[in-house]
Amino acid sequence: MNNHEPATLNQIDANALTGKSQVIVPTLSGLPGAASGGSNPRALSAELQTIPLEVPDAAAIVNLDAALARCTVTVDAFMAVQFPPRQPIIGTWFYEGDLGYTYADRGVGKTMFALTLANLATKGGALGPWQAPGGIPTIYVDGEMQNELTKERLRELEMLNNPYLYLLHHEHAFHQDHGLTLNVANPMLQDALTRLVEARQVRLLILDNLSCLLGSLVENRSEEWEPISQWLLHLRRLGVAVIILHHTSRAGNMRGTYKREDSATWVMKLTEVTTPGEVNAAAHFKTTFTKYRRGTAREAAALDWHYIRHPGKPTEVRVSQISLLDDLVDLVNQGFSSCRAIAPILEISPSSVTRLAKEATVAGSIRIVKGKYLPPS
């Protein structure tokens, strides 16, 4: 074949292309019906100019076939497979490999709350109904706070002298490493964080916050979120739990594409409850789960978090349970009869409403008839 003549389809040697990525540009003379003009030969020719042909390596095909054959087993064989156990981080609702989101309006206390969770996961103890064994190696990635404020919060929440807690701060990275910026949308940074997590045997990664750590990524475009979602799923397979902090939208939901919640184990909303004239309140908010896959009803209950500053002393953290059972009964008596109607009012997940309704039924406070919640007869 002349080197200056384009190849027709029947002249291409597929064996010569194995393991390579080629662009085939066939002439119309090599296509059936082209000699008679075809339906639209000019458009067809232009389209064929850009068709990429990927010819995979033969050995890679064999290896992939063998891997799929090994991994495709009967359900009984799957039940016998021993996976690495996932250890609890907090209570029975947050385990290694879980993905959780915490969102709130600006200034409510997301960072204060996330640092509290990091302290609980690493040091152990109890906060309200949440128990933690401690000893969970954790990396806290701060992409927003000024270093002076971060240091102040670490001191006031008694987070020092903690060998399990690592801090990756955006200002430290910038000054320490010649302008390094923390952009988790960058595949190179994702890979570097993954290697760091594995090297230090980290089991919990906290990203504070999504807006500051995403660079120029458009939050509302689900296709832009997909590469980050795949990275988070990879961390899940490694047994690494992730908490992501984010902001509330104008509608009161978590801002950006809903696709990011698909793989989440839990989603938690913080709502400010600070009252006018409240003294020494570093933060005061309530937490409610809007998505909750596992755990007890007691752990899923709405909680009141009150951070109180005392001069010269650590900040006091008071946690109390908010009773939603009475609120649910009141709503049912007002005529709200469905889980879908009650959930947004109480700012909890539909599954949490279902649990509360069952408790109210046992107590005789409401009835459930054909899926509808009704006052007691």
Domain range summary for the chain, segments of one domain joined by +:
9-77, 88-321, 325-374
pLDDT for res 32 = 47
Four-point Cα dihedral 170, 176, 180, 182, nearest 10 = -20
Three-state DSSP class for residue 281? strand
Contact between 164 and 136 under an 8 Å Cβ cutoff? The reply is yes
pLDDT digits (tens, 9 = 90+) for 71-105: 999 999 999 999 989 999 999 999 999 999 999 99
Rounded Cα–Cα distance for residues 130 and 91 (Å): 5
Vertex 204 angle, CA 287 and 78, to 5°: 105
What is 88-321's CATH number, 3.30.300.30, 3.40.50.2300, 1.10.3720.10, 3.40.50.300?
3.40.50.300
Most confident of 40-54, 145-159, 267-281, 332-346: 145-159
Q: Rounded to an integer, what distance in angstroms lies between the CA atom of residue 46 and that of residue 41?
A: 9
**Closest listed residue to residue 247, CA positions, set 206, 209, 274:** 209
Per-residue model confidence as pLDDT tens digits over 296-316: 878 988 899 999 998 889 999
Is residue 358 a contact partner of residue 339, using CB atoms and an 8 Å limit? no
Q: Is the pLDDT of residue 18 over 50?
A: no
pLDDT of residue 40: 56
Query: Is the pLDDT reported for residue 140 higher than 80?
Result: yes
pLDDT above 80 (res 276): no
More confident: 322 or 332: 332
> By CB neighbour count within 10 A (0-12 exposed, 13-18 middle, 19+ buried), where does 13 fall?
exposed
How many degrees, rounded to 5, is the angle at CA 8 between CA 3 and CA 10?
120
Please state the rounded mean pLDDT for residues 214-219. Answer: 77
Reference 281, options 320, 317, 247; nearest CA is 317
- Other C-beta atoms lying within 10 Å of the C-beta of residue 143: 22
More confident position, 180 or 25? 180
Residue 207 has pLDDT above 90, yes or no: yes
Q: What pLDDT does 160 receive? A: 95
Question: In whole angstroms, what is the distance from residue 144 CA to residue 210 CA?
Answer: 10
Among 304, 317, 230, which residue's Cα sits nearest to residue 273?
304
Q: How confident is the model at residue 27, as a pLDDT?
A: 45
Specify whether the CB–CB gap between 203 and 239 falls below 8 A. Answer: yes
End-to-end Cα distance, the chain? 91
Contact 316, 307 (CB under 8 A): yes
**Residue that wins the pLDDT comparison between 166 and 40:** 166
Of 358 and 31, the structure prediction assigns the larger pLDDT to 358
Instruction: For 198, list phi and psi in degrees, rounded to 5.
Output: -70, -40
Quick: pLDDT tens for 242-265: 999 999 988 888 888 777 788 999
> What is the reported pLDDT for 52?
56
